[in-house]
Structure 1
Amino acid sequence: MSLADRLRSALAQGHAREVGLTTSDTRDPRIDGELVLAPAAVLVAITDRPEPGLILTERAASLRKHAGQIAFPGGRVDQEDASEIAGALREAQEEIALAPEVVDVIGTTDRYHTFTGFDIVPVLGVIPPDLPLTPQADEVADWFELPLSFALDPANRIKHAVQFQGVERHYYEIMWNGRRIWGITAAILANLSRRLDLDRLVA
């Protein structure tokens, strides 16, 4: 069975069972009350290797929001996009020159609501390994590939607490080769790990 088929089956099974996600798992802990959310999507691009990898980007230092942070390729879904999937593929092409036609789309997983007003749909896709990806300098400083098994392993996920407006909030952090993966990106990875039933393996 191909990697894409295995992921497709695992994701379908994950969404068919109750995994106990709470509002705090799918919503930025700083959100207090209701927000008007704009549609957005990110591409969780998994490389088709014997040991699959995950493509992440480092946002440009010049950006007004989330400068220098580690993120999935993605962004706002435009009116011209036919769907969240189309939006994620378009954004990945714009940010790292990942051609949409090489992405074998697996499906979508749990949405995440951000403090900055976005309803993010993670789109899973399998891509060939060693593609000549090129960062779009205005938005992306760099891109890198880390092992998917490391990114999804609950043992590599640290839960932190921080005080925000007098209330204790929690967020996840994953450290890999000196890179700090946290916030939205780490939360989406944590939710995906639960959907794929990986948290149970270390419980």
Structure 2
Amino acid sequence: MKLADRLRVALAAADRDHPVLLTGDFRDEDPAVAAYPAAVLVAVTDGPQPGVILTRRTETLRTHAGQVAFPGGRIDADEDAIAAALREAQEEIGLDPNRVEVIGTADRYRTVTGFEVTPVLSVVPPGLDLTPHEAEVAEVFEVPLSFLLDEANHKEGSLEWQGRERWYFEIHWEGRRIWGATAAMVVNLSRRLRWTA
């Protein structure tokens, strides 16, 4: 099955029989609390060894400085999640929206910083010449999809934050720590793909 088709099948899989999908940074999260809508682009390179494009944020940003993240940000009032993810990816890493095959939106994830993030799953050609926005992105890199999806690489931890216990996943790859919301969205995608394997 082609990569794009396998991803489409994974997104279409019903989750009612799979209660292991992650929804937020707190296990006792109140879904009634309002959150800012945001979107990220999960761009999978369609090569012999598919990879996922990630960024490392600059150390000068007010929030999440130095963290690994998908390209993305807030959804503006006049756009949907797909439009926002494509716009942010173009702004942050110079990814031409015309080179992106959008597969669909994946499971939303709520962050401790007050965002409800919609991952937009997509396929892009391998070897694209990407240019990081120097004020926001310190580095653009690719992690093999097979590594990210391997459950053995998903490490779970917890810490106390603002008086509450916070659970998170982290994935380590070549000296980089992928954790928090980014890792959780990867874990959700991994679980969906396992259901459709």
Partner residue of 1:70?
68
Partner residue of 1:116?
113
**C-alpha displacement at 1:168, in angstroms?**
3.5
SS of the equivalent of 2:98 reads helix
**Structure 1 residue runs of 4 or more that deviate by more than 6 Å after TM superposition:** none
Aligned pairs for 1:6-85 within 5 A? 6-12=6-12, 14-15=13-14, 18-21=17-20, 25-29=22-26, 33=30, 34-81=32-79, 83-85=80-82
Partner residue of 1:162?
159
Q: Which moved more, 1:95-104 or 1:28-37?
A: 28-37
Partner Cα distance (1:11, 1:121) in 2: 13
Partner Cα distance (1:164, 1:180) in 2: 19
Letter in 2 for 1:19: H
Is 1:114–1:184's contact at 8 Å kept on the other side of the alignment? yes
Change in 2 beyond 3 A, CA 1:28/1:16: closer
- Give unmatched runs, 5+ long, in structure 2: none
SS of the equivalent of 1:21 reads coil
Is 2:68–2:182's contact at 8 Å kept on the other side of the alignment? yes
**C-alpha displacement at 1:58, in angstroms?**
0.2
Is 1:30–1:164's contact at 8 Å kept on the other side of the alignment? no
- Give unmatched runs, 5+ long, in structure 1: none
**C-alpha displacement at 1:167, in angstroms?**
4.3
Partner Cα distance (1:172, 1:51) in 2: 24
CA RMSD of aligned residues (A): 2.0
**C-alpha displacement at 1:35, in angstroms?**
3.0
Deviations for 1:48-91, whole angstroms, at most 9, x for unmatched residues? Answer: 0111000000001100000000000000011232x111110000
Partner Cα distance (2:190, 2:63) in 1: 27
Letter in 2 for 1:156: N
**C-alpha displacement at 1:30, in angstroms?**
8.4
Partner residue of 1:3?
3
**C-alpha displacement at 1:6, in angstroms?**
2.3
Instruction: Give the TM-score of the pair, scaled to structure 2.
Output: 0.92
**C-alpha displacement at 1:16, in angstroms?**
5.7
Q: Which of 95, 118, 131 is the equivalent residue of 1:134?
A: 131
Is 1:43–1:73's contact at 8 Å kept on the other side of the alignment? yes
Change in 2 beyond 3 A, CA 1:31/1:92: farther
Identity of aligned residues (%): 58
Partner residue of 2:87?
90
Partner Cα distance (2:170, 2:151) in 1: 11
